[in-house]
Chains A and B, each alone.
Chain A
Amino acid sequence: EAGVTQFPSHSVIEKGQTVTLRCDPISGHDNLYWYRRVMGKEIKFLLHFVKESKQDESGMPNNRFLAERTGGTYSTLKVQPAELEDSGVYFCASSQLPGQGTGNTIYFGEGSWLTVV
């Protein structure tokens, strides 16, 4: 079974440019999460989708970040315009709904490593 996949794995962009990160959750997982780890800091929650709806976006740092999950399958996280402090690792994760199979376990992808120069 395929795990959570993220693309690109690494990206280097200039300040002011736009980057779009993509996440494909495990098939059948309605919950999709985005997390971020800025260098040396903690892994921080960004937002949570249940299917195509945003359940919780309290962790989104500012309006330069836009997440979408059209159709409730894959998700994108766009940073526009990127700033130096956006550099870090962006993790996507997915899980089933509570009460379903492994619904209490969140599975993470390999991360998208973003460097803004």
Chain B
Amino acid sequence: AQSVTQLDSQVPVFEEAPVELRCNYSSSVSVYLFWYVQYPNQGLQLLLKYLSGSTLVKGINGFEAEFNKSQTSFHLRKPSVHISDTAEYFCAVTLWNGFKTIFGAGTRLFVKA
């Protein structure tokens, strides 16, 4: 079975500060890794994904994530956040066959002025 753990339920941070949202996963089979973002009252938007190749992946809005196979982690980072980054962020894994995506519980990022 697969599982995703987002280690922080809420992360408050000041504008222009760096941020890291942590994600660990477990799986007995190969998976693809994703980060989705949900802005207030909106749907889920794909932020970035790791399928294969370089372990550092870059996404939209200046976010990046690094896949660490030995630590089974896929932490999301941004060097300088903006007020508009306030949202809920979900780490997710999809089985190698593309079927069923499993989500973490989400991390609420609050960016303060």
Whether, in the assembled complex, A42 has its beta carbon less than 8 Å from a beta carbon of chain B, the answer is yes
Cα separation A55 to B95 with both chains bound (whole Å):
14
The stretch among A12-20, A60-68, A79-87, A93-101 that forms the contact with chain B is A93-101
Q: Which residues from chain A contact B94 at a C-beta distance below 8 Å? A: 104-106
With contact pairs A91-B44, A111-B43 given, residues A42 and B104 touching in the complex (Cβ less than 8 Å): yes
Interface positions, chain A 49-63, Cβ under 8 Å from B, are: 55-56
Q: What bracket does the count of chain A residues touching chain B fall in? A: 20 to 34
> A-contacting residues of B (Cβ < 8 Å)?
32, 34, 36, 42-46, 49, 51, 90, 94, 96-106
28 of the cross-chain contacts (CB-CB < 8 Å) are A31-B98, A31-B99, A35-B101, A42-B104, A42-B105, A43-B44, A43-B90, A44-B103, A45-B100, A48-B99, A56-B99, A56-B100, A95-B98, A103-B98, A104-B51, A104-B98, A105-B32, A105-B34, A105-B49, A105-B94, A106-B98, A107-B46, A108-B44, A108-B45, A108-B46, A110-B43, A111-B43, A111-B44
